[in-house]
Amino acid sequence: MCGVLREISPRVRSIKPLQSSVVALRAGQIEEELTQGVKKSFRQLINLIWGDPQSAGIKPLTFVRQVLSACLYPQLLDNDRLPADARQRAKALLSECQGGSLGSYTDLPGIPQVVREISDFITRRDGGVPSYPENILLAPGSQWALQNILNLLVHGGGGAGGGDGAVRSGVLTPVPTHVTSIMSLMGLGGVSVPYYLSEEQGWKVEVEELNRALEAAKPMCNPVAIYIINPGNPSGHVQSRKSIQDVIRFASEKRLFLLADEVYQDCIYKENIEFVSYKRVLAEMGPPFSNTVELASFHSTSKGFLGECGLRGGYVELVNMDPAVMKHVFTIFSKDNTPTPSQIALSVMANPPQPGDPSYSLYAVETQQIRTTVTGNVRRVHEVLSSLPGVSSQPVEGGAFAFPRLNLPSKAIRTAKELKMEPDTFYCLRLLENTGACIAPGSEYGQKDGTYHIRFCITAKRDKIEDLLTRLVAFHTQFMDEFS
């Protein structure tokens, strides 16, 4: 075989295959085997490896689909089967589309009404701290937006003074973390500078650890930014106001750009815990922080209770960005139009039905049902995991995942190493083969040496969670007996 593409970029080669891909690939093979009549100890798979609520049985919100339907098929605008506010929203959005059609290119950086609605949403969320439409850019998902901002920040040279003479840029990244963010960074030639969240303290962000990571990185790269995920993925922690203040002071002192991934901001489950945005805390700290610390905050329709993963809609709000740099940001984001259906979903996320609107009652019932289901899942998962020998789990405060720690027997660890496999990947593959339950190994997200974890989605129907827990309990007991 021959072709033009023979040499792969070293940057691409440096990106390791996802551990979850190994598990997901085998799950696909098992699914095919089941359809062909191969006998298994289970009749169907249960897949909670991804943070995809709708694939896990959560129903899409009616108002989102009604507005989308009317925008895609304008004949519905005159159909009384759709509530008046859904039709009004669709008419208003279509009026700002070229030719009044969802099939046309939209303005850059997006439909003006959608950008205004997001700006108003942020202002309400942050207790009146102003948000300006010109600082908001839409994107096909928050990770796409993050990669664009990284593209501005990161310089991929030949190492710290080596190769082509350029010093590579580094970004402080949490461990554990959302793995695709690391892949984006490495694909640009940047250096991931790990800082470890304190598992024993509920995955707390510690300034001492940030300083350690920063000093350790200086011989290898030039640290330019710090990446924060709040609520955490996969850790499920929610930062306190004081913790956010500490990170902002650290970023200010070390002259680091703040990248705040806040896509799970609506998913808070623990009593007496609230989500507070980095934007709000920064504004409330006042000068010199409020007018000097540069911040990019990301949000998405894929996450939270909207759960529209397939629509790939997101945005970034930029704070304290130099106007000269902002021009280049706009240029990068102008390369691609955000798909128009994604922008419609963003509109509903930012501006849902309000009390008195025809659709409000149903919207309130549906969102409360999802919240009640997931909150119940969180309690049930913690209860079951805490009862298992060799498993410890920090309480899930927010987000979409449980991330328990496995204290695996040394025999299991040795067996995995002999198979040239991470021990938690070995555990997940054995779980899949024996029970049909598909979850992700913690090694994909980073973890302290000698610790092992698993991750699975909790934004799922209750029966799916119960099914998973039943399979997990039976397997775990057998696994620990086998390798003890």
pLDDT in tens, 76-104: 999 999 999 999 999 999 999 989 999 99
Backbone phi, psi, residue 251, to 5°: -60, -40
Residue 159 pLDDT grade (very low, low, confident, very high; cuts 50, 70, 90)? very low
Residue 156's pLDDT is: 72
CB 224 within 8 A of CB 261: no
Distances (CA, A) of 128 to 147, 282, 389: 29, 13, 48
Residue 344's pLDDT is: 96
Q: CATH 3.40.640.10 residue ranges in the chain? A: 99-350
Residue 7 pLDDT grade (very low, low, confident, very high; cuts 50, 70, 90)? low
Q: CATH 3.90.1150.10 residue ranges in the chain? A: 10-57+364-483
- Token duo for residue 256: 């680091």
Average pLDDT, integer, range 288-315: 93
CA distance linking residue 289 with residue 72, whole number of Å: 45
CA dihedral 29, 31, 34, 40 (to 10 degrees): 80
Residue 308 pLDDT grade (very low, low, confident, very high; cuts 50, 70, 90)? very high
Average pLDDT, integer, range 39-43: 94
E strand intervals along 278-313: 295-300
In one letter, which amino acid is 2? C
CA distance linking residue 296 with residue 415, whole number of Å: 44
Q: Which of 103-112, 182-191, 244-253, 465-474 has the lowest mean pLDDT?
A: 103-112
Residue 15 pLDDT grade (very low, low, confident, very high; cuts 50, 70, 90)? low
- Please determine, for residue 124, whether its predicted confidence score (pLDDT) is greater than 50: yes
- Per the model's pLDDT, the better-predicted residue between 159 and 203 turns out to be 203
- Please determine, for residue 17, whether its predicted confidence score (pLDDT) is greater than 80: no
Residue 126 pLDDT grade (very low, low, confident, very high; cuts 50, 70, 90)? very high
CATH no. of 10-57+364-483: 3.90.1150.10
CB 256 within 8 A of CB 224: yes
Average pLDDT, the chain: 93
Whole-prediction pTM: 0.93
Residue 293's pLDDT is: 98
- Please determine, for residue 163, whether its predicted confidence score (pLDDT) is greater than 60: no
Query: What is the percent of the chain with per-residue pLDDT over 70, rounded to a whole number?
Result: 94
Residue 160 pLDDT grade (very low, low, confident, very high; cuts 50, 70, 90)? very low
- Token duo for residue 70: 């009317």
Residue 381 pLDDT grade (very low, low, confident, very high; cuts 50, 70, 90)? very high
Average pLDDT, integer, range 206-210: 98
Residue 109 pLDDT grade (very low, low, confident, very high; cuts 50, 70, 90)? confident
CATH domain 99-350 topology: Aspartate Aminotransferase; domain 2 (3.40.640)
Residue 337's pLDDT is: 81
Packing angle, helices 84-95 and 112-125, rounded to 10:
120
Average pLDDT, integer, range 403-428: 97
Number of H-type helices and E-type strands within the chain: 16, 14
- Please determine, for residue 61, whether its predicted confidence score (pLDDT) is greater than 50: yes
Short-list 204, 296, 290, CA closest to 252: 290
CB 314 within 8 A of CB 141: yes
Average pLDDT, integer, range 378-399: 96
**Terminal alpha carbon distance of the chain:** 49
Residue 162's pLDDT is: 41
Residue 161's pLDDT is: 41
Residues 6+ apart with CB under 8 A from 467: 46
Residue 165's pLDDT is: 55
E strand intervals along 136-233: 136-139, 169-175, 191-196, 222-229
